[in-house]
A and B are shown apart, each in its own frame.
Chain A
């Protein structure tokens, strides 16, 4: 199985600040169709995960432009700027290129 390694495990940020989360995969996530199926999710306490970014860098409908995704191959980053209270929770990366699809272990974003 493809292992998705997220760092750090937790982050403390100030409101209005900026931060980033890294996600590295044990294999390239470039699919034979040319797409890279790397997604980012936020799970707020007591809620279902919500999609933020799909295929590395595309913001899902309604996601503010404070969130941005980048990367290629095996190395990916989620950046969050101007952090707001509703951004707090656990962030997961996910790969949909290889079976079984796999998630990272999560990064908890907390207020400093």
Chain B
């Protein structure tokens, strides 16, 4: 069955970076886009962008350009998202999803000094 296993919660300091992972299983990793979604505490969902693991093609929400960077490792069927120059406004749960049909469990990122 399709599964997306995300890395664990992160507590990071303002100004730092964080890199989270999304390990896919149960399907051909290179055949489907991986999407990244942000959800601030008690808030709605925000589309960060997506990456095509086969081609490396990316689409970013303009709002997150310079903030988020997507990469993949095809050998381990893992997608990554790095967030840089973190501020308290980046405190959120970050989800990966295969074509927005199958979702990971989310990574809680807390930005605090």
Contacts and interface: CB of A to CB of B under 8 A. Distances in A.
Say whether A associates with B: yes
Contacts of B45: 41, 43, 49, 92, 94, 103, 106
Given A54-B101, A100-B63, A105 B44 contact: yes
Nearest to A90: B44
Interface residues of B, number: 17
Interface string B78-105: 0000000000000000010000110111
Given A60-B101, A99-B59, A49 B44 contact: no
Contacts of B104: 48
A92 B46 CA distance: 11
Interface residues of A, number: 20
Nearest to A43: B45
A94 B37 CA distance: 12
A101 interface: yes
13 contacts: A39-B100, A48-B95, A48-B103, A48-B104, A48-B105, A50-B103, A54-B101, A60-B101, A94-B45, A94-B100, A100-B47, A100-B49, A101-B47
